[in-house]
Structures are given as C-alpha cells and as structure tokens.
Structure 1
C-alpha cells in the first residue's frame, strides 16, 4: 500500500531532522514547515494524508491549526506531540479532532505504530470519501429529473462546474427548480459538508437586507440590542445562494460586488472588516442583460455572478419530461401508507396538454394533491384539479364539445393529433417519430392501427419531409375533417415505464 504524504510542523530543527530521517527510512514522503500559517498553505497545494504537529508552536498556533485542518481538510489525520504533555492538553487536542496525542521522548517503534494506525484511519477516510462521492454523483442529480436534451446538457454542466469555486448564475422562470439546482451544485462540491445558506433577496425589506446579509453590531440601529452575524458569516466555508438577485438595490449591488471581488465586508455599524471563504450561487427569473442595458443592474456585478450560466427551461417546453416528473413526485408523496400504480392514460394526457404556468413547482403541488385525494389505485382524470381538465384548449377538445363528445373522446383525439404531428415532422419515419414520442416502435404501430393512421411516402431526400400522414378515420371511426396543425416542439410522450398518454392496451 502506498504510504500517505506526511507533513511535520515544528520549529525545533533538531526534532524535525530526527523525525525526517526516521520517516524517510520508512518510505514516507515527508514535508517540513515551521509554522501553522505555512502548514495551511502547504495543505492547500499538496494532498497530505498525515500531519505530525508539535503542540508547542508559538502563540498556541497548534490548536488553531488543528481546528482549521478539521474544517478545511477533513481527510487529513492529525497527530500532535509534545514534551510537556498534560491531561487537559490531550483532552483539548482530541476534542478538536486530533487522532492521537503523543508525549515525547518516544521510541522509534512507538512512533511507527502510531503512524501506522493513523495511516489506516486515513485510508478509511479516503475510501469513505470516494464512496460518498460516487453515491453523490449517482444520486445527487436524481432530484433533477428529465430526459429533455437541454436538461441532459444541464446535468453535464452541473457535474463539470460543481467542484470549482466559480460563481454560478441560474436563470429560469419561477418554479423551474433554481433553488434545487443550487442545492445539487453544493451537494456535488467539495463544500458539501459545510453550510448551504439560501437568501431570497426579493423577500427581505430593503431596510433590513444589509443587516440580514452582513450582520450588525449592537446599537447599529434602533432595536439592535445585540450583535448578530449575517448570512455571509453563516455560510463561511460553504455556499451562499442569493435567489432573485435582480431585486437587489443599487446600494446593495455595490456591497455584493465587493464581497464577490474581495471576499470581505463590514457588518452594519462596524468598522471591522470580516473575511469569508464562500462559493456564491445566484438565481433570477429576470433578464439581467436587459436590466444592465436599462441601467438598473451593475454591469460589473453581472459579469462577476455570471461566470457560469445555467438556463432552466419552462415546463411547457419539456412536455416529454412531464411523465417522468409526475411519477417521481408521486413516489415522493404517496408514501408507504398506500401504493399508487401511477396515472391513467386520460390523466397523463391532461397533464401533458396543460400549459403549467407555475412550472415544476406547480406540477409537484398537483401530484401531491392527487396522491392525497385519489380514491383508487391510480390517479384518474377526475382526481386532477379543474383548471387542468377544463381549459385543455386544444382543437380536439373544441371538436369534441362541438359534436357533443365526452372528455375521454377529446383526449383520444388529442393523442391522435400528436401522433400525426410527430409522423409528419419526421417525414413518416416511424422509428424517428417513436423516438420523439418516447415510445417503442411496436407501441406506435398499435396506436396508429387504433386511430387508423397510415403514412404515404413521397421521396427520400435527406433532411426533407418524405411522407404525408393519412388518417383513415378519427377516434369515432368516421372520416375526419382536415385536422388542425399541432405544434410538435417538445411534444415528447414517454413509454410505458413513465405512464405516458400512449401507454395502455389498444382498444
């Protein structure tokens, strides 16, 4: 087994030379520094497995170093040694996270045994960290559900930037999952064990926002009876998420710019500068570039927060993800008290026909409501809120109502129109149409037979429309009137695994 890098921190050159000679003979890669400050700098640049630190560093620096190592480099195992050992000193060292507390003089054999135990602990911590990272990479994105190509690209970008320290700006309409995305980035980063602090800039009154973010000292303003640390101090070592950053006032923008540039600030009412180690993630549903052009948002601040931009699309542009999201939320909310099998064909068709102005948040709310109120073993059309089943607003529903048809018939007609539109978009290529709709080719064939849809090929020029869709009959078996065109962008219908509108037995 390869031995871990070992760092010795001591001002006593004779002791350091003796330790180095012994440890080099045991094949450790040994580094030496005399001060706690230099030790932290070395730890930041080199992966150190074992830290052998004198407890007698000047100014009590050893215990301060120990606390910093436990906070910033938790995988490093610390052993402290001293010629003036006391029970109180040993207790304090162990309390602060030291693995062992050694009293010198120490025989070479005792030192070797202590280091072997510490190395085994380091190996366990390293393996634990590796496994934890693998689990996080596997499941950290699970709550960000989707197979829309834009979401898949987004997931790749999140994994790429998560472990960096750059600022991230998450953009998208309300309810698209900006807060969740920020939490996933934090969970996949090296700061995952440190605080994640979320602040809604728009929700805090302007008179209080600076105190809330930067803290204040006693007497800073009327009612400030005691000092209070702010959100930036609470996030030290971790991540601060500033939601609705576009709502920041001009004065606040200046202070935020300084924190981003220098990682320092002064609490309200204080002249004392505080430094913080934070990763900043911002989010907005506004067009910040337009705000910059209008002079309402600082250009320099915009470029500071917009190093990496993540764009979350509205749910109405991710129709194919609705079955995945609905099933995901159903598993979350159904709970162990009841087993819900999923959604009926009609219910899922209605979900996919709705415009979702509240985006993913609204869908989660609807599914939670259905999970509570559903009377059967699955979610039916009548379990959905009226706002979803009534204003379907499609040509199919309009035709069904005009003809005195039922809602079930209207949904069947909507399904037929979506299939026809997909086939037309792909020139009659059934494999491509099935892929867009998220079903296998056999399911598509069955649906085409059910609705009497066939294709007539007219040519095979690459990239051109090569076929027309010829519906032989409508859902009721009569010769159809010319069907209105149906937009196909994002009209993705998932397969049986995701309880799609195209699943279920052919009838």
Structure 2
C-alpha cells in the first residue's frame, strides 16, 4: 500500500520518529484511498490526530465542524478544485497550515498552490522522511504561532498588561521570545532605552510563567542607596543597625519561588555585585548582621538601559555576574524603530483616558502625522505622557497639534514650514485646493494606511463609528483603501 505513495525509504522510519510536543489535528484530502491511508498511517504514528476524506465537499464540512491545524490536500492534475479548496481554507481559516500534494512533473500546480496560500508542497511519490520533514516544519510554525497568539490574547485581555501593544515585526519577534522565556526559570536580562517598557516585559514574563501565583518583587537599584539595597535584597536581623527593631527577610527570600526584578542593575556597586553573584551561585544569602545563611528560591529578571558589555570591559561591572544574568537576553526596540505601532499605542491611551474622564478624545490628522514623524527619545512612556497632556490641555474632543507638548509642537511646525517651502517652490503649478470631501477622504485613507488596513482602529482614531467609516468608503467608491490612489 505504501509503495503507491512513498519511495523505498519505508516503515523503518516509523519506529524512529518522535511525536510533536502538542497533538495537532491533520486533515488529509485525496481521492486515492491508498494515498489517504498511507498518509494517515504515517501521520498517526508521528502523533497527529488524523482525519481523511476523498471528497472536497465532505472536506469543507469537516473543516466547518473542526478547523484543522494542518491540511494535506492533493491537487488533481489539470483541475482547479484543489486550488479553490486551498483559497477557501486560507480565507475562512487563516491559522490552518496548508501542504499541497502534486503529481510528479506538475511543478506549476505547486507554484499555484503556494500563491493560493499553501505553505509547503510534496511531489508524488515522496519518501517517508519527506512527509515527516514537511509535517514537522508546519507543526513547528503552527505551535510557535499558537503560543504567540495565546500570549497576545492574554496580554490583550489582561488589564494590567494591556499596554504591551504592537503589530510591528519587532514586537512580533518579542512576543515569540516571551512565549518561550515565560515557561522557563532561567535568569533574564532585559536591555533597552528608558521608557521602552522593561518592567512591563518583566511582569509579563512572571505573569505567564510557571510560578505566576508567587510574588513579583521589583527593586530599583538606581534610586536606593547601597546600604539599603543590601538590606532590601538580603534582609537583616534585629539590631543589625540603628533602627533595626526587628528582623526582616530580604526580597530574595520573600519571593518564595516568585520573581525578583532588579531594575537598573548597572547601578549596583562592585561590592554589591559580588554579594549578589555569591547569592545566585550558592542559592542562599546572609542577612545583614547575621552569622547564619538563609536558602533562597527566586527567579532573577534584571534590566538596564546601560551597555553592560562595555561596562565589563571598563571594569565597572563584574564579568562573572554579567554571564550569570545574561542567560537569556531580551533587547527591547525603541519606539522610533517601530513607528507603525504609534497609532495603536495612542489609541490605547486615548481609550483609557476617555473612560477615566467620561469624554471621547480623538487625534487630529496633523497631530497624528506629527507623532508618527517624531523620534520619541522617551519612547512609550513619553508617548503616554504626551497623550495625557494633550487630553488635559484640549478644549474639545479633538486633540490638535497645539495641545501636544512643546517639543512635538516645534517638530510639527518645522515640518509644516518645510512643506510650505516645498509648496512655494512649486508655485508655478498653481494653488492646490481641496474640497472638504477630498480632505475627509484623504483623512480616512491616511488613517487606514497608517494602521495597516485595520478599519476598526482607524474609526476610533477618527472619532467615528465603524458603520460610518464603511458608509464613507462606499460613498467615495473606495474598494481597497490600501491601494486606492
């Protein structure tokens, strides 16, 4: 039976194959019963939950009843039915990975399948390890995407972590890393400029980690004097110093298996660095003034906006402590490196402020355009403060350039002068006047393009309902806002 599908590399591969970490649902669609049976047998042995059918209409019904994680579909020679199925699946179930099977020599069919949304293809007859490799590729991508989607949905639903927002490539990479890091207990070093959200990332790692129910204990190493940091981290006994009227456990002990977040770790003195290193290596601390040691069990997440590697070279930070903390390294992107997230973040802050004040606030086109062009040296924190300031200063529901902080106003005025100078240079072309309808159309198009086609967010930024937005698009005859000129 297997010889009709596979070449001479046969069943001995089955006994060596491992199973995916999470069982995935595979649907095999092929009119040849032998092919269906062979593929189902191999996939089942690899740990997949498998269903199969030879009828396209039946395949559609099965997908409606339970959307498959992976679809393995045959493309009949000189037929468009298989391509139509792939297109439908990617439209209705975009999370389903599609693998196309084609007859030998029908490379064009495989190319068309990829254009319709297939992520991979197999040419018959194929070896057993070929099928395993292709399924493994699809499964790895599927499990990673599922973990990313799950984390992002948790972040979206969590009131405390909702500010972790972004659809840029930089943020997508961060979500993928976080979904893995959160499930380990290794130390993590978070690097990034001030205002990029290092503590938020640390809280996310803890909240979706293995000991989320245990304490999350932050300490700012840059704002506490060294003697107090030592007692904060390691604790002290009664009478250790003036004012120590009772013994107190340090944060490394109080965490009880939770997370201790060492913010601005680069500000620790070399003496404290040595004591912290010893505590992490020996998994125990000696409280200030004590002669005994206390065992600790805490995950360490550290953060800094300084270049620790450079500090190590200059002798300002211990190399051994750096390597101890740098097991997992997360580099947070600056806001200027993910400008496409600015409208999403602004909309999030506006929604929160609107709920708090009981008033609806929206950004004018010029204000949003200025925010998109500004470099944000203070990153997300500066953006949040700018939106809060604009809402406070605004006399109406629409936030204009004049409501923004001075540095943004100056940036906007400079951009306006540059634009005016460019217009003056082209005076020979005559004045370019726009009707109100044209201005409204351009504002709508600008908002949708800025938000990569997200009409709901665009409507929120424009201060109109989603129904109104769709009606306006229809009035202006805009079928595809991303490509309409």
Structure 1 residues 361, 260: CA separation in 2 closer, same or farther (over 3 Å shift)?
same
For residue 228 of structure 2, what is the aligned residue in structure 1? 208
Kindly state the Cα deviation for residue 437 of structure 1 after the two structures are TM-superposed.
Answer: 5.2
Kindly state the Cα deviation for residue 337 of structure 1 after the two structures are TM-superposed.
Answer: 4.2
2:447 and 2:152 map into 1 onto residues whose CA distance is: 34
2:209 is equivalent to residue 189 of structure 1: yes
2:329 is equivalent to residue 309 of structure 1: yes
Q: Secondary structure of the residue that 2:218 maps to in structure 1?
A: strand
2:316 is equivalent to residue 296 of structure 1: yes
For residue 384 of structure 1, what is the aligned residue in structure 2? 404
Structure 1 residues 204, 440: CA separation in 2 closer, same or farther (over 3 Å shift)?
closer
The partner residue of 1:342 within 340, 362, 370 is 362
Q: How does 1:68-107 map to 2 (within 5 A)?
A: none
The partner residue of 2:351 within 331, 341, 357 is 331
Q: Which runs of 5+ in 2 are unaligned?
A: 1-149, 426-430, 435-445, 463-468, 477-484
For residue 353 of structure 1, what is the aligned residue in structure 2? 373
2:461 and 2:152 map into 1 onto residues whose CA distance is: 30
Does structure 2 retain, via aligned residues, the 8 Å contact 1:340–1:379?
Answer: no
Kindly state the Cα deviation for residue 498 of structure 1 after the two structures are TM-superposed.
Answer: 6.7
Scaled by the length of structure 1, the TM-score of the pair is: 0.53
Structure 1 residues 165, 293: CA separation in 2 closer, same or farther (over 3 Å shift)?
same
For residue 259 of structure 2, what is the aligned residue in structure 1? 239
The partner residue of 2:157 within 127, 133, 139 is 139
The structure with the larger Rg is 1
1:214 and 1:295 map into 2 onto residues whose CA distance is: 25
1:334 and 1:320 map into 2 onto residues whose CA distance is: 22
Structure 1 residues 182, 439: CA separation in 2 closer, same or farther (over 3 Å shift)?
closer
Does structure 2 retain, via aligned residues, the 8 Å contact 1:323–1:498?
Answer: no
For residue 294 of structure 2, what is the aligned residue in structure 1? 274
1:338 and 1:372 map into 2 onto residues whose CA distance is: 13
2:283 is equivalent to residue 263 of structure 1: yes
The partner residue of 1:496 within 449, 458, 469 is 458
Q: Deviations over 1:203-257 (max 9, x none)?
A: 1112322112111112212332322222222222211000000111111111111
Structure 1 residues 347, 436: CA separation in 2 closer, same or farther (over 3 Å shift)?
closer
The partner residue of 1:153 within 170, 173, 178 is 173
Q: How does 1:108-123 map to 2 (within 5 A)?
A: none
2:345 and 2:447 map into 1 onto residues whose CA distance is: 20
Structure 1 residues 350, 133: CA separation in 2 closer, same or farther (over 3 Å shift)?
closer
2:344 and 2:153 map into 1 onto residues whose CA distance is: 21
1:147 and 1:362 map into 2 onto residues whose CA distance is: 19
Kindly state the Cα deviation for residue 285 of structure 1 after the two structures are TM-superposed.
Answer: 0.2
Identify the range of structure 1 (338-347 vs 178-187) with the bigger mean alpha-carbon deviation: 338-347
Does structure 1 retain, via aligned residues, the 8 Å contact 2:344–2:457?
Answer: no
Q: Which runs of 5+ in 1 are unaligned?
A: 1-131, 413-432, 444-493
1:133 and 1:320 map into 2 onto residues whose CA distance is: 21
Does structure 2 retain, via aligned residues, the 8 Å contact 1:351–1:388?
Answer: yes
Q: How does 1:164-183 map to 2 (within 5 A)?
A: 164-183=184-203
Structure 1 residues 341, 210: CA separation in 2 closer, same or farther (over 3 Å shift)?
closer
1:321 and 1:404 map into 2 onto residues whose CA distance is: 33
How many positions carry a matched residue from both structures? 299
Scaled by the length of structure 2, the TM-score of the pair is: 0.56
1:434 and 1:366 map into 2 onto residues whose CA distance is: 20
Q: Secondary structure of the residue that 1:260 maps to in structure 2?
A: helix
Kindly state the Cα deviation for residue 309 of structure 1 after the two structures are TM-superposed.
Answer: 0.8
Q: Secondary structure of the residue that 2:411 maps to in structure 1?
A: coil
Kindly state the Cα deviation for residue 390 of structure 1 after the two structures are TM-superposed.
Answer: 1.5
1:217 and 1:401 map into 2 onto residues whose CA distance is: 70
1:345 and 1:395 map into 2 onto residues whose CA distance is: 14
2:321 is equivalent to residue 321 of structure 1: no
1:290 and 1:393 map into 2 onto residues whose CA distance is: 39
Q: Secondary structure of the residue that 1:390 maps to in structure 2?
A: helix
Structure 1 residues 434, 370: CA separation in 2 closer, same or farther (over 3 Å shift)?
closer
